Structures are given as C-alpha cells and as structure tokens.
Amino acid sequence: MHVGTILRTAREKAQVSQLALSLSLGVSQRHVSFVESGRSRPGRDLIVSWMREVQAPRSVGNAALLSAGFSLLPDHGPSGPARLEDVSPVHHRVLDVHDPMPGMIFNADWRMMRLNAGATWLFTQIMPEFLAARGRDQGGWDMIAGIAHPGGLLSRMPEPLTIGRRHLNQLRIEQLTRPCLKSRIDGLEHVLQAKFGEALYNPAAIDPEPGLDLHFDTAHGRLNFFTVQTVFKLPQDVAPTTIRTGLWYPADDTTRRVLERHVARAGPPDQDVA
C-alpha cells in the first residue's frame, strides 16, 4: 500500500481534518493533500509526526515508514537496550506455559533478561562453572561470554565445534546491524580459534536458521533439545533490536522425563537476571 494511503487512512480513522492536521504539523493543507494523494513524498520526520498527531498504533506507523523506504521506529528509547520492564506480557506468559521445558528472554545485545524454571535448572547442569564465575553482572548475564567460557555452553556438548561455528556465524551477521557487538564477538572468535583452529572456518559459513539441535552430556545422561529463537511482533515491527524468546523443546522422551522430574522436584523460582 502506498504511504499516502496509509497516512490518509490513519488520519480519517482519528477523525482529524486535513486542515487541523496541517496546523499541528506546521505545513500547509495543500501539502497534506499532496502527500495523501501521492503527489508529494513525505520525509521520515513528517511520517513520525503525522502518526503521533493522529495517535496511530506503532504498527501502523512502521507500515508507513516501510512503505516510504525508511527505517522502523526504534524498539526502545534513547536510554539504551531493552530492559526487563520493556518485555511484553506475551513473552512472560510463553515462558510460564513452556515450563518445565527451558525458555528464556534475551535482548539484541545478547544479554539474558529472564529464565523460566526449566532453563534455570538446565543451565545449572550444563554450565555451572560459568554461572559460578559470573556473579551478578550488571544488565543480565552475557550470553556471548557464556559460549566462550571454558565451563560454558559448549563444555558438555559432544560436538562443540559445530555449535560454536553456528553461533559465531550468526553473531557476525547480526554485527552488520549491531556493530556494538563487535568487541565481544572478536573475543569469542579468539577463544574458538584457539580451541578449534582453522576447522572453525570449514565448511564455509551459511545463512543461520532459527532452529538448532543441541546435545549435552550431563549427570542425568545425554539430554537432547531442538531450540528456536522467535519474536512476538507483527511483521512490520520486527527490527534488529527486537527482544527475542528462546524456547527449547525436548528431542526425545528421556529428555522430557528428566526435565519433568527434576524441575518439578526442585521447584526453583524462575529468575529475572537483569
């Protein structure tokens, strides 16, 4: 849909006249008319101000921006990355109903924001050394450091090279739109290269998929999971800074029974880790 049509529809839905809107925006009524008819191309600031004046939902504003070839409205304010209070109730409910299977919420900086009870228990089994070493680092624990640490995510995997390579590839691609990650990804690559050598780069990197098979050797035997990363947004609202949810599903009945037995028995409260 043309941006002018989206803008006109939003204005009419708010029952705001072209004249009233033009006065609020500080432009002529003629310009408002030309924008709506497609005879003038609005700038990004005008679109943002227009949507604010007619109190259009964020998703409608993003649709207008995309139609005009502009970037989306920022997910979060100028204060910085997402905080736990920015997480919608939908994210929290998904984690709650996913228990006792592991679920987590993390932000675009790869900082853990919340773990449910299943994830809290599982991480104490598969990366206790990392958890013991990190303390309560400010802003939630660093997931990239959790991959790099010798007692971290890879430490109990039978095929750590495959998963280390996959994570490094995904992170390098995310770095293209999130350059603030570079120094931490460089550190991860240094650790992985020291551990795996040139095998880290062979085969060539491929586009990452949102799903991943993970296997861990634990005191409870081999635990196998299929994991997905997902977002809960309308398509036009998904941006590089969008909060993500990681959901881990048992890949076999043995893993399911272990989680159901131990998470229910231990009953740890889920953790807010920010």
On whether both 88 and 39 belong to a single domain, the answer is no
On whether both 259 and 185 belong to a single domain, the answer is yes
- Total domains in the fold of the chain: 2
The answer to whether position 78 is within a domain reads no
Hey, how many other C-beta atoms are within 10 angstroms of the C-beta on 61?
A: 23
On whether both 128 and 55 belong to a single domain, the answer is no
How far apart CA 121 and CA 112 sit, in angstroms, is 15
User: What φ, ψ does residue 243 adopt, rounded to 5°?
Assistant: -65, 140
The answer to whether position 54 is within a domain reads yes
On whether both 106 and 151 belong to a single domain, the answer is yes
User: What φ, ψ does residue 54 adopt, rounded to 5°?
Assistant: -95, 5
Q: What is the pLDDT of residue 140?
A: 78
Q: What is the pLDDT of residue 135?
A: 64
> What is the DSSP annotation of 107-169?
-TT-BEEEE-HHHHHHHHHH-HHHHHHH-S-TTS-BHHHHHHSTTSTTTT-S-HHHHHHHHHH
pLDDT tens, residue by residue, 111-170: 999 999 999 999 999 999 999 887 655 447 899 999 999 999 999 999 999 999 999 999
On whether both 137 and 19 belong to a single domain, the answer is no
CA angle 179, 181, 199 (to 5 degrees): 110
Range in 48-52, 167-171, 241-245 with the lowest mean pLDDT: 241-245
The answer to whether position 176 is within a domain reads yes
On whether both 105 and 60 belong to a single domain, the answer is no
On whether both 12 and 118 belong to a single domain, the answer is no
The answer to whether position 73 is within a domain reads no
Q: What is the pLDDT of residue 160?
A: 97
The yes-or-no verdict on residue 61 having pLDDT over 60 is yes
Q: Which CATH number does the domain housing residue 205 bear?
A: 3.30.450.180
Range in 34-43, 75-84, 234-243, 247-256 with the lowest mean pLDDT: 75-84
The better pLDDT of the pair 248, 85 is held by: 248
Residue type, 126: I
Q: What is the pLDDT of residue 268?
A: 47
User: What φ, ψ does residue 216 adopt, rounded to 5°?
Assistant: -135, 140
How far apart CA 169 and CA 205 sit, in angstroms, is 6
The band of 208, judged by pLDDT with boundaries at 50, 70 and 90, is: confident
The band of 78, judged by pLDDT with boundaries at 50, 70 and 90, is: very low
On whether both 62 and 89 belong to a single domain, the answer is no
**Is the distance from CB of 242 to CB of 232 less than 8 angstroms?**
no
Which residue bears the tokens 């048992």? 250
Q: What is the pLDDT of residue 58?
A: 86
The answer to whether position 63 is within a domain reads yes
Q: Which CATH number does the domain housing residue 16 bear?
A: 1.10.260.40
On whether both 22 and 135 belong to a single domain, the answer is no
Six-digit token pair at 101? Answer: 């299977």
Class of residue 84 by CB neighbours under 10 A (exposed 0-12, middle 13-18, buried 19+): middle
The answer to whether position 77 is within a domain reads no
On whether both 141 and 45 belong to a single domain, the answer is no
The yes-or-no verdict on residue 220 having pLDDT over 90 is yes
Scanning the chain, the segments in alpha helix (DSSP H) are 3-13, 18-25, 29-37, 44-53, 58-67, 89-98, 117-126, 128-134, 143-148, 160-175, 182-196, 253-266
- State the residue range of the domain holding 29: 3-67
The answer to whether position 74 is within a domain reads no
On whether both 141 and 267 belong to a single domain, the answer is yes
Q: What is the pLDDT of residue 73?
A: 81
Query: Of 67, 92, 111, at which residue does a domain stop?
Result: 67
The answer to whether position 166 is within a domain reads yes
On whether both 39 and 153 belong to a single domain, the answer is no
